Chains A and B, each alone.
Chain A
Amino acid sequence: MKKKKWPETWQEINPGCMVFEPASARGYHTGSWKAQRPVWDDSKCIKCGVCYIFCPEGCISQDDEGFFRADLDYCKGCGICAHECWPGAIKMVEEG
């Protein structure tokens, strides 16, 4: 059965809109908002981690080889990583 994203009726709202399931925000994929996605050119990447530090979503992580990638389920496409990447290894590419 497909889980409901939000309560159907006002009677189903928890008092104070309390959320009893920890980390349930994970189920909300903010990545659907983006118009652009970050694409890394690993040949320019020096693995400094500036993109990882500046990402306001915390959706950038390091892979096994030490390069960085965004989790596109949560990346909103804000472009801060590309703006901060001083070696110029990240380009924002139009979605779709």
Chain B
Amino acid sequence: MAKQVGMEVGIAAAEAVGLCNIDMAAVYPITPQSHIAEHLSDIVADGRIDAEFVTVESEHTSISCVSGASATGARVYTATSSQGLMYMHEILPIVSAMRLPVVMGNANRAISGPINIWNDHSDIMPQRDAGWIVFFAESGQEVVDMTIQSFKIAEDNDVMLPVCLNMDGFQLTHTVELIEFPDQKEVDKFLPVRKPFATLHPDHPISMGTLGMPEIYAESRKSQDEALINSKKTIFKVWDEWEEMFGRRYKPVETYLAEDAEILLLTMGSMGETAEIAIDELRKKGMRVGLVKLRLWRPFPFEELKAVVKKAKLLIVTDRAVSFGGSGGPVFIEIKSALYHEKERPLVYNSIIGLGGRDVPVRDFVKLIEEAAKSGEKGIIKDYEYYGVRG
């Protein structure tokens, strides 16, 4: 039977991994991911699961280590944050190109400098083109559910790609939430033992991670791109199975009061829950506003997003990372270019918000939407603005 417990989300992430029958994990602790690393090593050290926990000296090694183990057919997990993810950067595209189903939790934290340990999305955005499946969780329940789902998606032989599950550092990882945990039998039924497509074994020698000459490099990139796009089918299938077993529905693009909305706000990650309250307040004032929450960042859910936003007059995209010298934040750039060929499309406004742990309370969302609506009416839309920046 599933049970409900009040638990810190970082600890809950480790508990979820503990339910997934992993063979090994290699995690280098870094704030705000540390509680995942500590608690997972506790779970292994206490003998609660039969797995190896490899204490590595860096994130470059943790990701390399889990990749090697994954190539032997093991079910593997790692987790990181910020500079740790940046240090993994060299290896990330190799993991996806080798089609290794590594699952990684990322407790989102700003990148240096100035040095900052608090939450935004500037760590994951530079990894955008690494070829991973990238999810954003909004709540503790989603962190637990999506951790378990991630293994099933990654290891499906129609996918064979690594998954990065983003959870906002502190705002989410250090919050105590009421979370429903499935029991071990249910998880075992949902997530059977990995059946790898191919493994490194001395009795059956094969080569992984080979040289690709100019004659095949382009073809190999195309096949990897197709694999990532194609993974959407399996993601949706796994989400259907999850709903059937556990009753919670997952979609690539979630909406809140969006159907008849003239103005839409778009968020990724934990900000969505606060934004819902702002939407309620503005609805009471008679504004036709709604919320769009992006759960799947890669492969990008183009059709699903277009269907949700096409009727709106104004779409306010929030970004929690800066693309210096670009045309806006990374989420905005993606969405604006996705809508370019559409006949029916809203004006798109970009607000860079919640950088380096700056809180975004309800009143800020209200103010942001009201101000954007005003300039939207006048038809004046700047490319992007830093919300609430002084000076």
Contacts and interface: CB of A to CB of B under 8 A. Distances in A.
Given A6-B213, A10-B226, A22-B205, A16 B100 contact: yes
A20 to B, nearest CB: 5
B273 to A, nearest CB: 38
A11 B213 contact: no
A7 interface: yes
Interface string B203-229: 001111110110110111011001100
Contacts of B98: 16-17
B210 A20 contact: no
B206 A17 contact: no
Contacts of B35: none
Given A6-B213, A6-B215, A16 B208 contact: yes
B37 interface: no
Q: What is the predominant secondary structure among interface residues of chain B facing chain A?
A: loop
Contacts of B222: 10
B133 interface: no
B223 A20 contact: no
B197 interface: yes
A18 interface: yes
A15 B99 contact: yes
Nearest to B218: A10
Contacts of A15: 99, 160, 197-198, 223, 227
A7 to B, nearest CB: 6
A15 B223 CA distance: 8
A55 to B, nearest CB: 19
Interface residues of A, number: 17
Contacts of A12: 219
Nearest to A11: B223
A13 B198 contact: no
Contact of A20 (B97, B100, B160, B206): B206
Interface in B139-162: 160
A13 B206 contact: no
A29 B219 CA distance: 22
A16 B206 contact: no
B198 A18 contact: yes
A9 to B, nearest CB: 7
B205 A13 contact: no
Given A17-B210, A17-B212, 17 more contacts: A10-B218, A10-B220, A11-B223, A12-B219, A13-B219, A15-B99, A15-B223, A15-B227, A16-B98, A16-B160, A16-B209, A17-B216, A18-B198, A19-B207, A19-B210, A22-B206, A22-B207
Interface of B: 97-100, 160, 197-198, 205-210, 212-213, 215-216, 218-220, 222-223, 226-227
8 cross-chain pairs, A with B, having the tightest CB-CB distances, nearest first: A16-B99, A19-B207, A10-B222, A10-B219, A22-B205, A13-B223, A10-B223, A16-B98
